[in-house]
Amino acid sequence: MKQEQQELQVQAWAQTDVGQQRKHNEDNYLVDMELGIFGVADGMGGHAAGEVASETALKVLRRAVAERIEQIRRLVKENPEKNRQRILSLVDESVQCAAKAVYDLSQQKADSRGMGTTLSVLLVAGNKGVVAHVGDSRIFLLRQNQIFQITEDHSLVNEQLRMGLITEEEAERSPYKNVITRAVGAADHVKTDTLFVDLLEGDRFLVCSDGLHGYFEEGEVGPHMAKENPEEIPPALIDLANTRGGKDNITAVLVWIEGDSNSDRMKRTEITMRMDLLQRIPLFQHMSYQELVKLMNITYLKTFDTGERVIEEEQAGEILYVTFKGELAVFRKGKRIATLGEGDHFGEMAIIDKLPRSGTVIVEKEAHLLTISRSNFIELMRQEQSIAVKLLWGFLKTMSTRLRDTTEELVNHID
């Protein structure tokens, strides 16, 4: 199966299996090349209700995306960065349609009460991807020979791990490994994780149920995804999961992004540079790839001309800036106090205290700055506890370093 998406092409292969111990397959998958949507749903509930839940969720999701796809593609074509949040909202709306449909169905029969399903979806629109995720199915990304898990399990064990209540070893032995904390259909609305992802030539995505990923150690799935014949990957992964126990239903959808190498090179370089730049900054250096992708979702690139003032001393401001390219000068009470270049950041105190700017920053060489607003920053910290802890720790380290430097300057000045 093949689909053209501007400069990129998409291919996909999928397979599902009942496993070695289950009588019914409650997994379902969705591959729609025309819409560019690929997903896995792992149902739960007695009397085949799980199978109904997963099938219904994907069917309704597909219909809801079809109703919105032209708008999504138009927004991507116009300005994907500016329209990012609207695109994510449209995909989330589609998931909510699925959640309500499954919930309404569960209320119609007594033996269907409590049925629900996980839902992990990748939507390809132009050169962008949108991930929507609920539950403990997963989406992996193989990029430049590195494997990343770009979804986070909504499970009791994972919540305990994040809170430091159990160790990795205890998590492996936990009797609650299959207890999920979010499901499509448990209520008529569900909290959905959504991510906006830049697509690059050579990217491979694996969307799979826990019946597959539960049999692989961290990082082990990468070499399997990198094999030469992609059409053989889903059946090979399923066979391996069955060989290792096959206690659950097993589903795998492999999505392969292809494109023009020449046109993709500059884009690949810019995306890699953005990620590397953020990771080098002390504020963000402890964040995982998955967390950096979430940070990128609230980061916008803005260009400033030579001589332009980015911030003014004593004026209010609520934006953190990171220098992607260019040179800037910092002035305090009319006196030049610093020069900023690639990787330098400024304005972070406005995100914390909302007090007036302590200096003026002027562009000396055309600058491309990554910007993060206070409102988006606070919302990300509110939603993601692990990110909040790492960001607060990064702020403390940054402030500590600056305090030490200031103290040293004062001592040297006195001497």
pLDDT tens for each residue of 377-415: 888 888 777 788 887 787 777 777 767 777 777 777 665
The residue that leads in pLDDT, 173 or 331, is 331
The one-character DSSP state at 357 is P
Q: Given this model, what pLDDT does residue 7 score?
A: 62
Q: Given this model, what pLDDT does residue 47 score?
A: 62
pLDDT for 100-157, tens place per residue?
A: 999 999 999 877 788 999 999 999 999 999 999 999 999 999 998 889 999 999 988 8
Mean pLDDT for the stretch of residues 197-203: 92
Region of poorest pLDDT, from 47-51, 189-193, 205-209, 301-305:
47-51
Examine the pLDDT at 366 and tell me if it is beyond 60: yes
Q: Given this model, what pLDDT does residue 79 score?
A: 92
Alpha helix (H) ranges present in 49-167? 49-78, 84-106, 156-162
Name which CATH class applies to 267-414.
mainly beta
User: Which residues, listed in sequence order, are joined to residue 251 by a DSSP beta bridge?
Assistant: 16
* Segments making up each domain of the chain, as ranges: 2-259, 267-414
Examine the pLDDT at 2 and tell me if it is beyond 50: no
Examine the pLDDT at 263 and tell me if it is beyond 60: no
Examine the pLDDT at 31 and tell me if it is beyond 90: yes
Mean pLDDT for the stretch of residues 159-172: 78
Q: Given this model, what pLDDT does residue 133 score?
A: 98
pLDDT for 51-88, tens place per residue?
A: 999 999 999 999 999 999 999 999 999 999 899 999 99
CA distances to 69, 284, 325, 351, 364 from 342, rounded to whole Å, are 38, 15, 5, 21, 13
Q: Which two tokens stand for residue 333?
A: 């009470």
Name which CATH class applies to 2-259.
alpha beta
Let me know if 254 is exposed, middle or buried by CB neighbors in 10 A (0-12, 13-18, 19+).
buried
Mean pLDDT of the chain: 88
Q: Given this model, what pLDDT does residue 282 score?
A: 76
Mean pLDDT for the stretch of residues 360-367: 96
Residue type at position 123: L
Mean pLDDT for the stretch of residues 254-262: 79
Q: Given this model, what pLDDT does residue 297 score?
A: 86
Q: Given this model, what pLDDT does residue 269 score?
A: 61
Q: If pLDDT is split at 50, 70 and 90, which confidence band does 5 have?
A: very low
The residue that leads in pLDDT, 283 or 314, is 314
- C-alpha angle 369/375/381, rounded to 5°? 95
Mean pLDDT for the stretch of residues 220-245: 96
The one-character DSSP state at 136 is S
